[in-house]
Amino acid sequence: MIISTLLSKTEYAAILSVFLEDMNLATPSVEYDFTIREPVLEYFSDQPWSPDLNEKAVTLAKAMVTSLNLCWPRVPHDVKIAASIFAIYNTFIEDISGDIQDEIRRFAFNLTAGQRQTSPVLQSLQDFLPGLRMLFGPCAYSVIISGVIHFLNGCLIEQRYDGKLEVPAGAVNFPSYFRQKTGNAEALVQFVFPEETYPEDVYLKQYLLVIPDFCDALNYINDILSFYKESVIGDEQLNYISNVSKVRGISPADALRLTCSSVVQTMGNIRKTLSGNQRMVEDIELSLKGYVQWHLDQPKRYHLGDLEIVYSRL
């Protein structure tokens, strides 16, 4: 049997429409918080980079910042700002990673040796991270720091091996493993649980149980909503859905459907595990709902405005 390696625009739109309906995130509506826009834009415009890098970062921040608030709607204002800056760093560094591969390769060495980074962008990131100690407990802060290192390694591997790495059918655990390294989800979900709202001494034992499902949901949502620009109209081959297609011997369409089902399953796991803490369930669901909307609000990046997507408004 020959398995199709192609996914049409119409088929992708149909699968995405079903997914958005199946999400069924019955959570309170959240308004956009425009107060975080100015401090975030000011942060990136003030970085000691070349004019070209400043312009690129500010342009990206303008496109991202307003909707990013939806991912952490009920955290304190200073956490919203920090979370937005951190998320923008993730996207910006991923975008420019091809130009700073040598600098990324040295990041962990320089960080642990107390040396300056050779990339001004990575140095600014290194300068930004210690301030997060004021917002998070020691466990969450450690996860964020380790997540940055794994994420940078993931960017490096993607740059080096996309289109060159053969993923055989036997490597069934590789897609999930590699996705954990490239997504930085474990670091990002910590921003839902700042110390002021969920002190670790009280709540870590609760939300720790759902971190795996929360991370999977966050990663898979991005995989689903970015697959159109990456692999339907683009030619990326090392993303999660493409890897699942290869190792399972199924079509990209079936791999996409499987990933959509996985998100719905993780949400069910979270609701069941945290059935005694409705506020925490709502905060997680609001975060995921906002993450979906963040993708939909960026038509130039993800090109989802090109599609006829039919779903009940989130």
What confidence tens digit (pLDDT) does each residue in 268-309 have? 999 999 999 999 999 999 999 999 989 989 999 999 999 988
What residue type is 218 in one-letter code? L
Could you give the percent of the chain with pLDDT greater than 70?
96
The pLDDT of residue 1 is 38
Residue 21's pLDDT is what?
87
Total domain count for the chain? 1
Quick one: pLDDT band at residue 32, thresholds 50, 70, 90? confident
* 311 belongs to a structural domain: no
Smallest CA-to-CA distance from 81 within 191, 4, 161 is with: 191
Q: Is residue 1 part of a domain?
A: no
Decide if 313 is inside a domain: no
Domain extent for 276: 9-306
Residue at 2 is within a domain: no
Distant-in-sequence, close-in-space partners of 204: CB < 8 Å, separation ≥ 6: 137, 139, 198
Q: Is 312 part of any domain? A: no
Q: Residue 72 — φ and ψ, nearest 5°?
A: -140, 60
Check pLDDT > 90 for residue 28. no
Residue 159 lies in a domain: yes
Is 47 contained in some domain? yes
The pLDDT of residue 310 = 79
Comparing 163 with 213, the larger pLDDT belongs to 213
Q: What is the CATH number of the domain that holds 148?
A: 1.10.600.10
> Mean pLDDT over all residues of the chain?
94
Residue 26 reports pLDDT greater than 60: no
Domain annotation covers residue 285: yes
Write out pLDDT tens, residues 76-126. 999 999 999 999 999 999 999 999 999 999 999 999 999 999 999 999 999
Rounded CA-CA distance 175/166 in Å is 12
Distance CA 141, CA 191 (A): 10
